Structure formats: structure tokens, C-alpha cells
Amino acid sequence: MTSPDFLADQFQGHRPHLKAVAYRMLGSLSEAEDAVQEAWLRLARSDSGDIDNLGGWLTTVVGRVCLDMLRTRKSRREESLEERLPDPVISSTDATDPEQEVLLADSVGLALLVVLESLSPAERLAFVLHDMFGLPFEQIAPIVDRTPVAAKKLASRARQRVRGAAPNPDPDLNSQRRVVDAFLTAARGGDFAALVSILDPDVVLRADGGVLTGGMKVIRGVAAVAGQLATFQRMATSSTTHPALVNGLAGLVNTVDDQLISVMSFTISEGKLATIDILSDPDRLARLDLTRLEP
């Protein structure tokens, strides 16, 4: 029989991977933690001696737990994450946290997570487990109660919806930072022409101020987004801006008197701002872990 301490050590080794799976499935850091904890409880109650591939077994369990959570979320018609931004993961621009690197592998930016929220639970699971983590459809099929062929079709449908809906971020962080700095300069100076020059023609702005502001507002197109210049200027001049990585991409953390007031995430594609995501919900900001920003 496997000793409890050995089993716990084995589980901890898989935890970063499991949290990465759950975060992509749920878009919520707290729910991802809950899903991983549930996987541990199920492992502790099982006969671990019968498990040949612990990593695969745990990934399957987390997938099932997340699928149930997504289905419950929809069936109860509770507040949907489609109506708010997913939780951002924030770190300093020189962060080298191995666990966070696993969590954010493949630059899973907020823009991509927003698109994943539009998929059905089964489509999302098939896409995440196969396309992002390389699980075979033979392993995915039992989780969604489908044949491997049907699971493959789920992933294919999801892939078609994701392709083109979430812009591919430019890979070079220095290039990303230059565009974000240009955005800040234009915002502070109230320079409309400079702002327009760095916006993608199909730019999307998502601003989530929480329930008190009516939830997430979505603005599309250069004219409409550039029309928010006065808001950008107010944010840039009334707060202290700190460069940060938000989901592995160049972003900004804005504070007033050391109190966090907003997090801004940018997707830079082909040198232009393709998406701007702003989280200013005070309740959710208060729950964010900013320890990785500390020097």
C-alpha cells in the first residue's frame, strides 16, 4: 500500500499541471483550486495501488470535476463568467516562478479565456485537454460520455470557434511593452491620433467594473475604443501605473495610495492593440494575489 506521505508528495508534483488544466477550464483561480483539492480528496479515498499512470488519472479526475462545475454553473443560471472577465494572473516583468510558468504556458491570455467561455462545457473540455495538453481522444471520450470520434468532433468544433476569435499575441515581450508604453503616452497626453495609430482595426475593449457598474461592457472598433480616450486619460493621470505581466503578456497594474484600482491586460498582435481588458471590480481586485509583484 502506498503511504499517505508518499502519495501527498506525488500529488504535489502534479499540482501545477492540474491547476493549469483547471484554470483553462474554469477561468477562475479560486474554482481551479477547488477542483484540484477535490482531485486530491478523490485520490486519498481511492486505492492508489491500482493507478498505473497517476498524472493521467489526476488529469482525468480534474477534467471531470471541472466539467461538472461548468454544467452546474449553466444549469443554475448563476452569474456566468461570460458576463465578466476571467481572473487575471499577475506577476512582475522579470518573474521566473516555475509554477506560474506552467500555469500560463502557451500565453493563455484573458482574450483566449474569454473565447473559451463561449464554448459548451464538453467542447471546452475536449479542446483544453487535447489541443492544450495533448491528451488522446481515447482518454477524453469517457469524461464527456462520447466515443473517441465524437470527442474529436467536439474539439474540432471548438477549434473552429477559437481560431480567429482570439488574436495571436506577438511573442516578443519587449515589442509588446513598447506598444503598451505608447498607449500610456497617448492616454496621458490625450493624443487621439497617437492612440488611433496603435489600435487594430478590429480592436475590442472589455471593461469589468463588477455588479455595481452593470457587469462587463464590450466596445468594438477603432472609433468606439478611441472614443474612450478621456477615460483612459483619467485612469493614466489619476493613478500610479506599474508595468506587469498579466497572464504572461504585457500589462499594467494601477494603484492610488498603494490601493489596487485596476488591472489592464493587452493583446498586441502584429504591433497593434487587438484587445484591451480592464478589471476594476473592487471585490475581485481585493482577492488577487499580488505577492509576485513584490521586489
Alpha-carbon distance 129 to 123, whole Å? 10
Alpha-carbon distance 111 to 292, whole Å? 22
Q: How confident is the model at residue 45 (pLDDT cuts 50, 70, 90)?
A: confident
Calculate ∠ Cα 109-113-261, nearest 5°: 65
For range 262-275, the mean pLDDT:
95
For range 54-76, the mean pLDDT:
89
Sorted by sequence, the CB contacts under 8 Å of residue 273 that are 6+ apart come out as 179, 183, 198, 199, 200, 203, 266, 267
Alpha-carbon distance 157 to 170, whole Å? 25
Structural domains in the chain?
Answer: 4-162 (1.20.140.160), 173-293 (3.10.450.50)
Q: How confident is the model at residue 106 (pLDDT cuts 50, 70, 90)?
A: low
Alpha-carbon distance 82 to 149, whole Å? 28
Q: How confident is the model at residue 76 (pLDDT cuts 50, 70, 90)?
A: low
- Position 211 scores a pLDDT of 78
Q: Quickly list H helices, 146-281.
A: 148-162, 173-189, 192-197, 222-226, 229-238
Q: How confident is the model at residue 171 (pLDDT cuts 50, 70, 90)?
A: confident
Q: How confident is the model at residue 1 (pLDDT cuts 50, 70, 90)?
A: very low
Alpha-carbon distance 166 to 260, whole Å? 27
Rounded to whole angstroms, what are the CA distances from 7 to 10, 41, 47, 56, 81? Answer: 5, 12, 11, 15, 34
For range 192-221, the mean pLDDT:
93
Position 30, amino acid: S
pLDDT digits (tens, 9 = 90+) for 151-170: 999 999 999 988 878 788 89
